[in-house]
Amino acid sequence: MDDLRAAFPVFERLAYLNAGTNGPVPHVAVEAAATELRQQADTGRGDQAFFEERVLAPVDELRRRVAALLACEPDELALTDSTTGGVNAVLSMLELGPDDEVLTSDEEHPGVLAPLGAGMGRRGFEVRSVPFDQLPAEVGPRTRLVAASHVSWITGRVVDGAALAAAGAPVLLDGAQGLGAVPVDVRALGCDFYAASGQKWLCGPNGLGYLFLRAERIGELVPAWAGYGSLAHTERPLDLVLHEDARRFEAGVVAPHQSAWALAALDVLEGFGIADVHERAAQLAAHLASELEERGLNVAPRGNSTLVSWESPDPAADTVALREQGFVVRHLPGRPYVRASVGAWTSEKELEGLLALAA
Amino acid sequence: MDDLRAAFPVFERLAYLNAGTNGPVPHVAVEAAATELRQQADTGRGDQAFFEERVLAPVDELRRRVAALLACEPDELALTDSTTGGVNAVLSMLELGPDDEVLTSDEEHPGVLAPLGAGMGRRGFEVRSVPFDQLPAEVGPRTRLVAASHVSWITGRVVDGAALAAAGAPVLLDGAQGLGAVPVDVRALGCDFYAASGQKWLCGPNGLGYLFLRAERIGELVPAWAGYGSLAHTERPLDLVLHEDARRFEAGVVAPHQSAWALAALDVLEGFGIADVHERAAQLAAHLASELEERGLNVAPRGNSTLVSWESPDPAADTVALREQGFVVRHLPGRPYVRASVGAWTSEKELEGLLALAA
Pairing of strands A307-311, A337-341: antiparallel
Per the CB < 8 A criterion, the answer to whether A310 and A338 are in contact is yes
Per the CB < 8 A criterion, the answer to whether B228 and B251 are in contact is yes
pLDDT given for residue A252 in this prediction: 84
For residue B1, pLDDT over 80 is answered with: no
Do the Cβ atoms of A333 and B16 come within 8 Å?
no
pLDDT in tens, A269-304: 999 999 999 999 999 999 999 999 999 999 999 999
Which residues of B fall within a CB distance of 8 Å from A34?
A: 30, 33-34, 37
Strand-pairing partners, residue B210, are B79, B196
**B120 and B13 share one domain:** no
pLDDT given for residue B359 in this prediction: 81
Looking at residue B159, its amino acid is: V
Domain total in chain B: 2
Which residues of B fall within a CB distance of 8 Å from A211?
A: none
Q: How confident is the model at residue A80 (pLDDT cuts 50, 70, 90)?
A: very high
- For A233-263, b/e burial (b = at least 16 CB within 10 A) is ebeebbebbbbebbbbbbbbbbbbbbbbbbb
pLDDT given for residue A234 in this prediction: 86
pLDDT given for residue A153 in this prediction: 98
In a domain, B48, yes or no: yes
**A223 and A326 share one domain:** no
What interface predicted TM-score (ipTM) does this complex get? 0.97
- Where is the domain boundary, B214, B234, B269? B269
Nearest chain B residue to A42 by CA distance is B10
Measuring CA to CA, which residue among A117, A116, A122, A130 is closest to residue A97? A122
Do the Cβ atoms of A227 and B254 come within 8 Å?
no
Query: Rounded CA gap, B314 and B335, in Å?
Result: 10
Tell me the shortest Cα–Cα distance from A39 to chain B, in angstroms.
Answer: 9
Q: Enumerate residues 6+ apart whose C-beta is below 8 A from A182.
A: A150, A151, A158, A278, A282, A304, A305, A306
pLDDT given for residue B241 in this prediction: 96
- The region, left, alpha or beta by phi > 0 then psi within -120 to 50, assigned to residue B234 is alpha
pLDDT given for residue A227 in this prediction: 95
**B59 and B199 share one domain:** yes
E strands along B75-208, which residues?
Answer: 77-80, 101-105, 126-130, 143-149, 171-174, 193-197
Measuring CA to CA, which residue among A202, A230, A207 is closest to residue A65? A202
Mapped onto helix, strand or coil, the DSSP state of residue B215 is: helix
For residue B275, give the H/E element and its range: helix B274-294
Rg of chain B's alpha carbons, rounded to an integer? Answer: 21
Looking at residue A7, its amino acid is: A
pLDDT given for residue B285 in this prediction: 98
Do the Cβ atoms of A255 and B205 come within 8 Å?
yes
**Backbone φ and ψ of B342, nearest 5°:** -105, 125
Give the CB-side neighbour count of residue A26, counting CA atoms within 13 A: 26
pLDDT in tens, B54-100: 999 999 999 999 999 999 999 999 999 999 999 999 999 999 999 99
**A210 and A299 share one domain:** no
Which residues of B fall within a CB distance of 8 Å from A13?
A: 42-43
**B12 and B59 share one domain:** no
In a domain, A170, yes or no: yes
In a domain, B161, yes or no: yes
Mean pLDDT of B245-266: 96
**B263 and B279 share one domain:** no
Domain that holds residue B174: 38-269
Tell me the DSSP string of B129-166: EE-GGGHHHH--TTEEEEEEESB-TTT--B--HHHHHH
pLDDT in tens, B198-225: 999 999 999 999 999 999 999 999 999 9
- For A190-199, b/e burial (b = at least 16 CB within 10 A) is bbbbbbbbbb
**B293 and B334 share one domain:** yes
For residue B317, give the H/E element and its range: helix B315-324
**B229 and B278 share one domain:** no
Query: Rounded CA gap, A89 and B224, in Å?
Result: 10
CA distances from residue A220 to A47, A132, B110 in whole angstroms, order as listed: 34, 30, 22
pLDDT given for residue A35 in this prediction: 98
Pairing of strands A193-197, A209-213: antiparallel
Query: Rounded CA gap, A210 and A87, in Å?
Result: 10
Mean pLDDT of A108-131: 97
Angle (CA) B354-B358-B359 rounded to 5° is 115
pLDDT in tens, B278-329: 999 999 999 999 999 999 999 999 999 999 999 999 999 999 999 999 999 9
Do the Cβ atoms of A207 and B206 come within 8 Å?
no
In a domain, A232, yes or no: yes
DSSP-derived letter for residue B169 is: S
Mean pLDDT of A243-253: 94
**B75 and B120 share one domain:** yes
For chain A, give the number of residues.
359
pLDDT given for residue A235 in this prediction: 86
**A195 and A327 share one domain:** no
Q: How confident is the model at residue A50 (pLDDT cuts 50, 70, 90)?
A: very high
pLDDT given for residue A21 in this prediction: 98
Mapped onto helix, strand or coil, the DSSP state of residue B176 is: coil
Per the CB < 8 A criterion, the answer to whether B62 and A40 are in contact is no
pLDDT given for residue B234 in this prediction: 86
Measuring CA to CA, which residue among A76, A37, A50, A117 is closest to residue A245? A76
**Residue % of chain A over a pLDDT of 90:** 97
SS3 per-residue string spanning chain A: CHHHHHCCHHHHCCEECCCCCCCCCCHHHHHHHHHHHHHHHHHCCCCHHHHHHHHHHHHHHHHHHHHHHHCCCHHHEEEECCHHHHHHHHHHHCCCCCCCEEEEECCCCHHHHHHHHHHHHHHCCEEEEECHHHHHHHCCCCEEEEEEECECCCCCCECCHHHHHHCCCCEEEECCCCCCCCCCCHHHHCCCEEEEECCCCCCCCCCCEEEEECHHHHCCCCCCCCCHHHECCCCCHHHCCECCCHHHHCCCCCCHHHHHHHHHHHHHHHHHCHHHHHHHHHHHHHHHHHHHHHCCCCECCCCCCCEEEEECCCHHHHHHHHHHCCEECEECCCCCEEEEECCCCCCHHHHHHHHHHHC
In a domain, A33, yes or no: no
Of B27, B38, B111, Cβ closest to residue A228: B111
pTM for the whole structure: 0.98
**A189 and A321 share one domain:** no
In a domain, B188, yes or no: yes
Query: Rounded CA gap, B259 and B205, in Å?
Result: 8
pLDDT given for residue B209 in this prediction: 98
Mean pLDDT of A90-105: 97
Query: Rounded CA gap, A35 and A343, in Å?
Result: 27
For residue B155, pLDDT over 90 is answered with: yes
For residue A44, pLDDT over 80 is answered with: yes
Do the Cβ atoms of B222 and A13 come within 8 Å?
no
Measuring CA to CA, which residue among B291, B273, B294 is closest to residue B340? B291
CA distances from residue B75 to A80, B72, B172, B185 in whole angstroms, order as listed: 27, 8, 18, 16
Tell me the shortest Cα–Cα distance from B142 to chain A, in angstroms.
Answer: 20
Tell me the shortest Cα–Cα distance from B273 to chain A, in angstroms.
Answer: 21
Q: What is the CATH number of the domain that holds B155?
A: 3.40.640.10
pLDDT given for residue B235 in this prediction: 86
**B310 and B161 share one domain:** no
Per the CB < 8 A criterion, the answer to whether B327 and B3 are in contact is no
Query: Rounded CA gap, B261 and B32, in Å?
Result: 6
**Residue % of chain A over a pLDDT of 70:** 100
Do the Cβ atoms of B82 and A199 come within 8 Å?
no
**Residue % of chain B over a pLDDT of 70:** 100
pLDDT given for residue B333 in this prediction: 87
Q: How confident is the model at residue B143 (pLDDT cuts 50, 70, 90)?
A: very high
pLDDT given for residue B2 in this prediction: 78
Per the CB < 8 A criterion, the answer to whether A140 and A158 are in contact is no
For residue B184, give the H/E element and its range: none
In a domain, A286, yes or no: yes
In a domain, B325, yes or no: yes
DSSP-derived letter for residue B301 is: P
Mean pLDDT of B248-262: 95
Query: Rounded CA gap, B285 and B266, in Å?
Result: 22
Q: What is the CATH number of the domain that holds A17?
A: 3.90.1150.10
pLDDT given for residue A276 in this prediction: 97
pLDDT given for residue A333 in this prediction: 87
- Where is the domain boundary, A236, A269, A302? A269
Tell me the shortest Cα–Cα distance from A88 to chain B, in angstroms.
Answer: 5
Cβ atoms within 10 Å of A73's Cβ, excluding its own: 16
Measuring CA to CA, which residue among B238, B53, B83 is closest to residue B148? B83
Per the CB < 8 A criterion, the answer to whether B250 and B78 are in contact is yes
Which residues of B fall within a CB distance of 8 Å from A35?
A: none
Do the Cβ atoms of A129 and B47 come within 8 Å?
no
Mapped onto helix, strand or coil, the DSSP state of residue B273 is: coil
- Where is the domain boundary, B223, B240, B269? B269
Looking at residue B275, its amino acid is: A
